[in-house]
A and B are shown apart, each in its own frame.
Chain A
Amino acid sequence: MAVSRRTALKVAFAGAAVAVARPVAASTPLVAPADAVGLLYDTTKCIGCKACMAACREANGLEPDTTWSEGKYHAPLDLSARAKTVIKLFDDGTRTSFMKAQCMHCVDPACASACMLGAFKKREYGIVTYDVNYCIGCRYCEVACPYNVPKFEWSKAAPRMVKCELCNHRLAKGQQPACSEVCPRQAVIFGTRQDLLREAHRRLAAQPNIYVQKVYGEHDGGGTQCLYISHVPFEGLGLPALGEESTPMLQRTIQHSVYKGFAAPVALYGLLGAVMVRNRKKGEPA
């Protein structure tokens, strides 16, 4: 079943009612929220018309990125502060494929784990959103994101971070994201993560000789809400081989075990103080 606009509407209205208890223990793997929505991109359907890029730019009020077109038109080579989605071409000499890049809306986003004041946060529908009021522009999110998604406004005196927020302003109005709405071939479709996964597996099973038998994002990097199926290897598309553990997991496990309940620092402080008091009384051994 292709995800239609009706499904999108249903998701938008019903999803708001679903309250999810998120796991608290930081070192246990996170699961996608029950109301998670996302995109499914199918390389076999994309014709590289870039209508999604134009629609995205318009829907998000971004200025054209004319860096690579002598100032003439919107032609970004990669995601940038003016391009929340971009169509790239993969060509290894024998096979070609298009590739749509945008935020993956991770189940356990590294940007949100990194962000000091929670400017990046997973909010309703599991969408990773940005709130400039809590951003100081440190760019640790850019260091953290395994997909190189968040972009910084390098040429502005008051810069923000820019990335796809799955058109959450459109979802609020009952519309679907601009890119999936405008796609003439339904190469990128919008829906709940569960529906998209079902649809992806249906396509893999229906044409096993065409597709690489894997849905990228189902488990990769702890899972993402934007999913990919492809006729060429995923590494070629620029999707990294991440394993099933989310990227922030190792750091969080180490940090949370060292700082559990802040007990170790308090104990160390007490110990240091005690040793120093004792030393002062005793004086230095000759």
Chain B
Amino acid sequence: MTDSTRSPQAARPVGGPILTRPFTLLLMLFAIGGVLILYRLATGLGQVTAMNDGYPWGLWIAFDVVTGTALACGGYAVALLVYVLNKGRYHPLVRPAVLTSALGYSLAGVGVGLDVGRWWSIWRVPLFFWHWNLNSVLLEVALCIMSYTFVLWIELSPAFLEKAEQSGIPSLRRFAAKTKPIVERALLWIIALGILLPTMHQSSLGALMLIAGPRLHPLWNTGWLPLLFLMSCIAMGYAAIVFEATLSSWLFEREPEREMLAGLSQAIVPLGTAYVGLRLLDIAGRGQLGALFAFDLYSVMTILELLLVVVAVGLLLGDAQRQKLGNLFRAAMLFMLAGSVYRFDTYLVAFRPGSHWSYFPSVGEILVTAGLVAGELMAFILIVKLFPILTLETPHAAHHH
């Protein structure tokens, strides 16, 4: 097995030109988002967003933060598999997953920074510890996400240090040579933190909406919300890895890690089944089956959330099914969608501030989010082209050490 601290032997920079046509397109989207961000910072939230006093949280929280960080749970999910369940053969998936996570969480951080009204005072949250309100679930989520983003970049730092070791600048080489062993020695405990922190804040992201009380629709308002959020984010993490690995194998024209992706997908099956089971039991146990089959907006959205998971699990049953890469890709997309819809619903659809309030994201909000996602994709492309992240050989050759 590869030592947890050593880079997978085959991880190498992809190389190639940076400013390709798709990259230029992303750059344009990023620039449009950037202009709108400046406008928002200068004029306040009301000019750019459709949020209001009934719906104080909109697309930026529901997507960039709550959904985005769950889709960025690949690093968490694969770390669980490799380091806790001791499945070392999945090691080649760690770096790309951690990179996707680091970028996703960083995007969430930027999203929060834009969303809070008094963004210049955000530094007070971690530093004014004598003012911490320990009843505040949001405080826990904020501190956890801040620390985890930091942890993810440290988890990834060996990739940057390896590159620096071959740098032409002697001082940078010396720095890398000195730092790398320190990081490598601490890495195991950093990775443990990288498993603990998402367990805490991903469940707390569910607990967060419990405070809305009766304004949260009964189909979502349950004490099991934290556990449901945790289960779905792990499944979404695996799905995101399968999605990302399949996509990179097409984009960068390399062999996909078929067996590993099949194995990961298999892990989703019990998670998805347990999620559907728990939700149905909980809804029935609280006497809300009537609401589930009322066929109003709330009932239809809940059924959709559950159906997406059921179909995805169905695609993955049976060994033969899991050998088809297209099947894995479709199931992964369905899982990512199911988890995203669940999160959107909990934060926006299920939240009922009163009939005279309404919210639909403004063009400005959508363009800012699109710009941020474009920025994330650009960073991913740039980093995998310049740094040793992806395993380039066919995985069959690469995972025997």
Q: A: which residues have CB within 8 A of B? A: 26, 77-81, 110, 112-118, 132, 134-140, 142-144, 146, 148, 151-160, 238, 240-242, 247-248, 250-252, 254-256, 258-259, 265, 268-269, 272-273, 275-277, 279-280, 282-285
Q: B: which residues have CB within 8 A of A? A: 1, 3-4, 41-47, 51-54, 56-57, 83-84, 86-89, 115-119, 121-122, 124-125, 128, 131-133, 135-140, 142, 188-189, 191-193, 195-196, 199-200, 204, 207-215, 223, 226, 351, 353-354, 356
In the complex, besides A112-B133, A272-B195, 14 extra interface pairs with C-beta distance below 8 angstroms are: A114-B137, A117-B125, A117-B128, A138-B138, A140-B208, A143-B209, A152-B53, A154-B53, A158-B117, A159-B117, A238-B354, A250-B213, A268-B196, A269-B192
Cβ-neighbour of A151 out of B44, B47, B53 (below 8 A): B53
* Interface pair A272/B118, CB less than 8 Å apart: no
* Interface pair B193/A269, CB less than 8 Å apart: yes
* Interface pair A284/B207, CB less than 8 Å apart: no
Cβ-neighbour of B196 out of A81, A110, A248, A272 (below 8 A): A272
- Given the complex, which residues of A lie within 8 Å of B354, measured CB to CB? 148, 238
B349 to chain A, nearest CB (A): 14
A8 to B208, CA, bound (A): 39
A280 to B189, CA, bound (A): 12
- Given the complex, which residues of B lie within 8 Å of A153, measured CB to CB? 44, 117
* Interface pair B125/A272, CB less than 8 Å apart: no
Which of A138, A148, A159 has the most chain B CB atoms inside 10 A of its CB?
A138
A273 to B195, CA, bound (A): 10
Which of B41, B56, B121 has the most chain A CB atoms inside 10 A of its CB?
B56
- Given the complex, which residues of A lie within 8 Å of B89, measured CB to CB? 284
Instruction: Name the residue on A nearest B194 (C-beta).
Output: A272
B350 to chain A, nearest CB (A): 12
B93 to chain A, nearest CB (A): 14
* Interface pair A148/B53, CB less than 8 Å apart: yes
Chain B interface helix/strand/loop/mixed: helix
* Interface pair B54/A148, CB less than 8 Å apart: yes
- Given the complex, which residues of B lie within 8 Å of A284, measured CB to CB? 1, 86-89
Cβ-neighbour of A136 out of B52, B57, B119, B210 (below 8 A): B119
Known contacts A143-B57, A157-B43; A116 and B86 CB within 8 A of each other: no
Which of A112, A140, A273 has the most chain B CB atoms inside 10 A of its CB?
A140
- Given the complex, which residues of B lie within 8 Å of A151, measured CB to CB? 53
Instruction: Name the residue on B nearest A253 (C-beta).
Output: B223
* Interface pair A251/B210, CB less than 8 Å apart: yes
- Given the complex, which residues of B lie within 8 Å of A79, measured CB to CB? 53
A110 to B397, CA, bound (A): 57
- Given the complex, which residues of A lie within 8 Å of B1, measured CB to CB? 283-284
- Given the complex, which residues of A lie within 8 Å of B188, measured CB to CB? 273, 276-277, 280
Instruction: Name the residue on B nearest A270 (C-beta).
Output: B192
- Given the complex, which residues of B lie within 8 Å of A146, measured CB to CB? 213-215
A255 to B207, CA, bound (A): 8
* Interface pair A251/B83, CB less than 8 Å apart: no
* Interface pair B4/A276, CB less than 8 Å apart: yes
Which of A151, A241, A284 has the most chain B CB atoms inside 10 A of its CB?
A284
- Given the complex, which residues of B lie within 8 Å of A152, measured CB to CB? 45, 53, 56, 117
